[in-house]
Amino acid sequence: MRLEGKVALITGAAGGIGHAVAGLFATEGAIVIAADIKLPQKPYAGDVETIMLDVTREEQWASAVAAIVRKHGRLDVLINNAGIIAYEPLDKLEMKDWQKMIAVDQTGVFLGMREAVRVMRKQQAGAIVNISSIWGSAAVPGAHSYHAAKGAVRNMSKNAAMTYAGEGIRVNSVHPGFIHTPLTDAQNPDLNRIVIDTTPMKRGGQPIEIAYGCLFLASDEASFVTGAELNIDGGYLAQ
């Protein structure tokens, strides 16, 4: 029960990594609120509340966090997981596609952190985990907007960590490598194979392997950890 009694909000929790995080946190004793723009794809491992949340909408963030505080009295953990991916190179990237990527993968993280920090500062305690990517630290051809957004999440996390370290708020980022999720499994299998083949462990990860990293960073076991980047990537970034 590593999160016993903690109130945790996880975005993008209908499937994939977010779904695994929500289920694991519930089994570890947290009061879990799983947020997404769609309903869960399957049952969670534990008792989980679900809410609808479009992370690009400022007013939805404000009302969601306010409702959680009214019901539970606090917000201890935020996992900013909601995200999309696209592969257009810079010269073929349309403005509407750039704006959509930045809105979901970067602005969504900003809005979530802002609302959570406003609550956590009053508590003088809290943990935020932002899901970045190996592409937030390294690059491959194409995927310009995704690289931009995930790189921003990496530095936004560090900035928030430094800004609020003295107020009991910890902020860290997790950088998954290739993970088998509905999102990645729907991609071109040749593209997936290239990433897996260049991963030293020669396999893709499972959502639960990311969830356990989030569990550590959200728990009191990580009480001296802030501004860190946790790579869970089968060794990819060590090359």
Residue 18 Cα to chain centre, angstroms: 7
Backbone region of residue 17 per phi and psi (left: phi > 0; alpha: psi in -120 to 50; beta: other values): alpha
Residue 209 Cα to chain centre, angstroms: 13
- CA 214 – CA 201 distance, rounded (Å): 21
Do 61 and 111 contact (CB within 8 A), yes or no?
yes
From 44, 146, 164, 236, the catalytic residue: 146
Distances from the Cα of 239 to the Cα of 66, 134, 179, angstroms = 44, 12, 18
Of 131, 132, 222, nearest to 168 by C-alpha is: 222
- Strand pairing category for 169-176 and 126-131: parallel
CA quadruple 136, 141, 143, 146: dihedral, nearest 10: 10
Phi and psi dihedrals of 82, rounded to 5?
-55, 135
* pTM over cut 0.85: yes
Question: Strand, helix or coil at 71?
Answer: helix
Of 215, 210, 233, 196, nearest to 17 by C-alpha is: 210
Question: Strand, helix or coil at 63?
Answer: helix
Q: Which residue has the tokens 């989980």?
A: 48
**Which pair of structure tokens corresponds to residue 215?**
């569990």
Ordered domains of the chain (ranges, CATH): 7-238 (3.40.50.720)
Do 221 and 186 contact (CB within 8 A), yes or no?
no
Q: Tell me whether residue 87 is one of the annotated catalytic residues.
A: no
Q: What is the pLDDT of residue 236?
A: 97
Q: What is the mean pLDDT of each run of 10 residues along the chain (239 residues)?
A: 97 97 98 97 93 98 98 98 96 98 98 98 98 95 96 98 98 98 87 94 97 98 98 97
Phi and psi dihedrals of 127, rounded to 5?
-135, 130
